[in-house]
Amino acid sequence: MSSQPERSSRRGSFETRPSSRVYLVGVGPGDPELLTMKAYRLIRNADVVFHDDLVSAEIIELAAPHAQVVNVGKRCGQKKITQTEINTRMIVAARRGLEVVRLKSGDPGVFGRLAEEIDALESAGIAYEIVPGVTAGIAAAASVGSSLTDRRTGSRIIVITGHHTHDPGDTGSTPNTANDWRGLAGEDATFIIYMPGRDLRPLQRDLLDAGFLPDFPVLIVSRASTPAQREWATTLADLHYAPAIEAPSILLLGRALAGANHRVTARILTAVQDGACSSLPGLA
């Protein structure tokens, strides 16, 4: 999984120090306690930290006072940073011999543009190492008290994105094609749908058109593992009634989620009966 040995190319570098290794680190879904010990150590020791928008402030604050911390997220309110610029900045920092840590939410290899960064580092002759993290889908299931598999009802997990890039000027994390849900419809699968979108109706329509059964249990989890976590339980047939839930959110779908679906539904009903609607997503 990790890179080739230090065969750092110093072409174009005026530094005397050899290029350092770049660490491509997953930091989990938000809760700092879900960091691996390795991620923690690397963040503490980094000279330069490049991070995405979704990396939480508590995690970024672990960096040493001398560290240069750079938000290379796409939504950081500044000029849009392209993937090519991110790659270049990592390569330049590594060639200066700095400890470079690239932080990505969840696991770096799940919808994290990791492949493009690996390609760029490989072409530049920069060594790298990948540090896995807890991906949002796994964290979301845990946070609603659910298993993703159940030998009675769910023997497959399908990890998929609901979003496909339409930006021809950038190389997005997914191909610009719609999902072929028809090939995926099945009773025994649990779907983890990243980036389901704010408006869930197109996804609902696609799934129903593809033959997914209307009574399929659905759970939507927003900001899993953080104090701002919210969840919603429904069925595919009623998905269009789900409140607009804040990003980042993830949608879980499948029979294996039935138990958690009932428990979350019961909690929501109790909260509504107790008049605690304002704490529920979209019901404020």
Residue choice 8, 135, 146, 234 for contact with ligand SAH (CB under 6 A): 135
In whole angstroms, the minimum distance from the beta carbon of 16 to ligand SAH comes to 36
Show the site string, 186-205: x = touches ligand SAH by CB under 6 A, - = not: --------xx----------
The candidate with the shortest Cα–Cα distance to 89, out of 133, 121, 43, 134, is 121
**Stretch touching ligand SAH by CB under 6 A, among 43-51, 134-142, 150-158, 210-218:** 134-142
Q: Are strands 68-71 and 189-194 parallel, antiparallel or unpaired?
A: unpaired
Count CA within 13 A, CB hemisphere, residue 96. 10
Q: Are strands 48-51 and 217-222 parallel, antiparallel or unpaired?
A: unpaired
Cβ proximity to ligand SAH, 158 vs 213, nearer residue:
158
- What letter does residue 181 receive in the DSSP assignment? G
- Distance between CA atoms of 173 and 191, rounded to whole angstroms? 19
In whole angstroms, the minimum distance from the beta carbon of 45 to ligand SAH comes to 22
Determine which helix (DSSP H) or strand (DSSP E) holds 86, and give its type and residue range: helix 83-95
By the rule CB under 6 A, 146 interacts with ligand SAH: no
Residue choice 223, 252, 253, 254 for contact with ligand SAH (CB under 6 A): 223
**Stretch touching ligand SAH by CB under 6 A, among 6-14, 16-24, 80-88, 241-249:** 241-249
Contacts of range 2-11, beta carbons closer than 8 Å, 24 or more positions apart: 2/128, 2/129, 2/130, 3/121, 3/122, 3/127, 3/128, 3/129, 4/127, 5/127, 6/127, 7/125, 7/127, 8/94, 8/95, 8/125, 8/126, 8/127, 9/124, 9/125, 9/126, 10/95, 11/125
By annotation, the residues acting in catalysis are 52, 74
**Stretch touching ligand SAH by CB under 6 A, among 42-50, 102-110, 145-153, 234-242:** 102-110
Residue choice 141, 219, 221, 242 for contact with ligand SAH (CB under 6 A): 221
Residue choice 32, 112, 132, 154 for contact with ligand SAH (CB under 6 A): 112
Residue choice 34, 103, 219, 250 for contact with ligand SAH (CB under 6 A): 250
Residues that bind ligand SAH (CB under 6 A): 29-30, 54, 104-107, 110-112, 135-136, 140, 194-195, 221-225, 247-250
